[in-house]
A and B are shown apart, each in its own frame.
Chain A
């Protein structure tokens, strides 16, 4: 798998750190053994042999040097446990052989006392194995600690990015609602007011009732449209209809708002209904909202930017993961322009939001024409963001 420059340098730093801890602990442990055993053998000779301490020390220190060099030179941090075991066995055997050989060469033991030589060689192997065991345990512990700390920092960063994305989204919604209230709704109300004034004047002037009735009918129609379209749209921006009732319900409500001139084929699999069954607790609201935003973004992009006339909407759950597929027959995905337009930034925000829940989103050209949007959203709480949401929901 290709790794970025940052990841590669991180791996190198981790390897160096692992090796430093391993070799450092190994050196400290083996030196204590080497010096201690040499001093002990010189102070308490078994027989009347007077071997100089320097000879014993030389044999032991050379053995320690061999072990340290082998440990330093082996890529232990990236070996499997079975490979590690093979390397360690080799090092222990090499240490035993070298110590035995040096002890004979330096006359620590006469060559004919093979029992003593083997005993000291075995002691070297055991001391090396023990030291390696302690050193590896400490190096692995340090590695796990670093990984845990790094994972914590990464989750904290993800949570921070998610909150930032939420703030951005909230600002966008506030701006859209403000524009809607200040623009369309206010304009319509001004027109209604003007029409009512005209109706009043017409009434006072004693004009035929039909003229007044026509004006009042126009006012009723305008108010009805205002309620049906503009107020509903703004309300949806603040909190989509049906979100509390279920994911499928919220999707259906949105899909029914799509103009009837657009051909829509919808398949909401029973697996979604089962996953969202109130008897099992249903799908968490924040996940329903995210899945709905995916649908809204796909439909808006397809109709507004892709001039699509047909949509295929598919929603199903498999192994605890919600799968969304939306195909359209429009002009296909827009090429990235470098400066993010509204729909590009919308997709980017959605990708970011999905990533917080270990999900993802892809937009690609359709098999024949148009675009295909696919998204995955795990439904089982697992991320730090879930814990954050859970803590918010339990806070009084």
Chain B
């Protein structure tokens, strides 16, 4: 998953609910640094409209009339390994990101339509996904509870705060600012978190940590 070099993030919106699709496309079109290249209702239309290199991030509704956003995302990523996938769903199921095929596991984000998402959250998710990060719905992250006996449950409260903010797609500078820490202290926190979680080597630690967060928490 490559970091997007464009100043403007080019997005495609795939959503079968017409009003929601038009509203989302319209709102995003007004955002500086975001350009809506494609806005379609279904998986088939998306496969036809989104060609390799045509967009940086595809915003996909999970439940489409002629398929589902997860399968579509897998197909789009195999066609264009640079594309980021942002899933939108009314189901509150960010665990969808855990079991993607190994060749397309990076660069997916998830937002819930059921939580009160704002334009700011959507644009933040688009930018995080375009930059190769994984961002989870902040409302769902806040409600998640570490499971008893898991490596997450052994983190200190401070480490857990850091991990939660990491899962919401914030950069190091953003997390440090939110927690009033220096970036160096934050990096120390991150390294100790990665060590405590015993994350697999040779993989993006940030993404692995976010996936572990989903795996070892419950809905609360």
A261 on interface, CB distance cutoff 8 Å: yes
**Is B101 within 8 A of A274, CB to CB?**
yes
The answer to whether B218 and A256 have CB atoms under 8 Å apart is yes
* Residue of A with least CB distance to B114: A227
Tell me which of A241, A261, A264, A273 contacts B101 (CB under 8 A). Answer: A273
Task: For the complex, give the distance between the alpha carbons of A285 and B62 in Å.
Answer: 17
- Is A387 located at the chain interface by the 8 A CB criterion? no
Any B CB within 8 A of the CB of A242: yes
Which residues of B (180-194) have their CB < 8 Å from a CB of A? none
Q: Is the CB of A252 within 8 A of B148?
A: no
B70 close to A262 (CB less than 8 A): no
Contact digits for A182-211, partner B, Cβ 8 Å, 1 yes 0 no: 000000000000000000000000000000
The interface stretch among B11-19, B50-58, B92-100, B124-132 is B92-100
Residues of A within 8 A of B147 (CB): 260, 262-264
Chain A interface, >50% SS class: mixed
Q: Does A166 contact B (CB under 8 A)?
A: no
Indicate whether A277 reaches chain B with its CB closer than 8 angstroms: yes
From A253, A259, A261, A279, contact of B74 by CB (8 A): A279
Residue B217 at the chain A interface, CB threshold 8 Å? yes
List the A side residues contacting B150 at CB < 8 Å: 263
CB of A137, distance to nearest CB on chain B (Å): 53
Judge whether A258 is part of the interface by a CB distance below 8 angstroms: yes
**Contact pick for A245, options B70, B215, B219, CB 8 Å:** B70
Across-interface contacts of B63 in A (CB, < 8 A):
244
What's the nearest-Cβ distance from chain A to residue B179, in Å? 24
Chain B CB within 8 A of A86 CB: no
Do residues A245 and B96 form an inter-chain contact, with CB atoms below 8 A?
yes
Chain A residues within 8 Å of B220, by CB: 260
A24 at the interface (CB under 8 A from B): no
Whole-angstrom distance between the alpha carbons of A258 and B149 in the complex? 14
A310: chain B residues within 8 A (beta carbon)? 149
Which of A241, A278, A279 has a CB less than 8 Å from the CB of B93? A241
- A241 cross-chain contacts in B, Cβ below 8 A: 91, 93
B1: chain A residues at CB < 8 Å are none
Q: Which residue in A228, A266, A272 is a CB contact (below 8 Å) of B215?
A: A266
**A 246-260 contacts with B by CB, 8 A:** 246, 248-249, 252-253, 255-260
B interface majority secondary structure: mixed
A259 to B146, CA, bound (A): 10
Is A268 an interface residue when CB atoms closer than 8 A count as contact? yes
Say if the beta carbon of B102 comes within 8 Å of chain A. yes
Contact B98 A248 (CB under 8 A): yes
Inter-chain CA distance A273–B100, complex, in Å, is 7
Nearest opposing residue in chain B for A261, CB measure: B148
- Contacts A245-B96, A278-B74 given; does A259 touch B101 at CB 8 Å: no
A256 touches B70 (CB 8 A): no
For A248, give the chain B residue with the smallest CB separation. Answer: B99
In the bound assembly, the distance between CA atoms of A230 and B102 in angstroms comes to: 35
Query: Which partner residue on chain B sits nearest A241 by CB separation?
Result: B91
B145 on interface, CB distance cutoff 8 Å = yes
- Closest B-chain residue to A251, C-beta based? B99
Which A66-82 residues have C-beta < 8 A from chain B?
A: none
Q: B70 touching A253 by the CB < 8 A rule? A: no
Interface presence of B26 (CB below 8 A):
no
Partner of B68, one of A244, A256, A277, A279: A244
A252 to chain B: which residues have CB within 8 Å? Answer: 95-96, 98-99
Most A CB within 10 A of own CB, among B93, B145, B150, B220: B93
Question: What residue of chain B has the Cβ atom nearest to residue A268's Cβ?
Answer: B99
Whether A257 contacts B71 by the Cβ 8 Å rule is no
Judged by a CB distance under 8 angstroms, whether A358 is at the interface is: no
Question: For chain B residues 84-115, which have a beta carbon within 8 Å of chain A?
Answer: 91, 93, 95-96, 98-102
Q: How far is the CA of A260 from the CA of B219 in the complex (A)?
A: 8
Residue B75, interface by CB 8 Å:
yes
Chain B residues whose CB sits within 8 angstroms of the CB of A255 once the complex forms = 95
Which of A259, A260, A270, A279 is close to B102, meaning CB atoms less than 8 Å apart?
A: A270
Residues of the B chain whose Cβ atoms lie less than 8 Å from the Cβ of A261: 148
A288 CB → nearest B CB, Å: 13
A258 in contact with B101 (CB, 8 Å): no
Cα of A253 to Cα of B68 in the assembled complex, Å: 16
Contact B102 A242 (CB under 8 A): no
Which single residue of chain A is at the shortest CB-CB distance from B69? Answer: A245
Interface residues of A in 215-248 (CB under 8 A from B): 228, 241-242, 244-246, 248
Given A246-B70, A248-B99, A249-B96, A260 and B62 contact (CB-CB distance below 8 Å) = no
Q: Which residue of B lies closest to A252 (CB)?
A: B95
Residues of A within 8 A of B214 (CB): 256
Chain B residues with CB below 8 A from A272, complex form: 99
Which residues of A lie under 8 Å from residue B101 when comparing CB positions? Answer: 273-274, 277
Which residues of chain A come closer than 8 Å to B74, judged between CB atoms?
277-279
In angstroms, Cα B219 to Cα A60, docked, is 90
The 10 closest A-B pairs by CB, nearest first: A263-B149, A248-B99, A278-B71, A252-B95, A260-B218, A260-B145, A245-B70, A260-B147, A263-B148, A253-B93
User: A interface vs B, CB < 8 Å?
Assistant: 228, 241-242, 244-246, 248-249, 252-253, 255-264, 266, 268, 270, 272-274, 277-279, 309-310
**Could you list 5 further interchain pairs (A-B, Cβ under 8 angstroms) beyond the known A252-B95, A263-B149, A273-B100?**
A228-B219, A249-B95, A259-B218, A260-B218, A260-B220
Listed A/B pairs (6) with beta-carbon separation below 8 Å: A241-B93, A249-B96, A252-B99, A253-B95, A263-B149, A273-B99
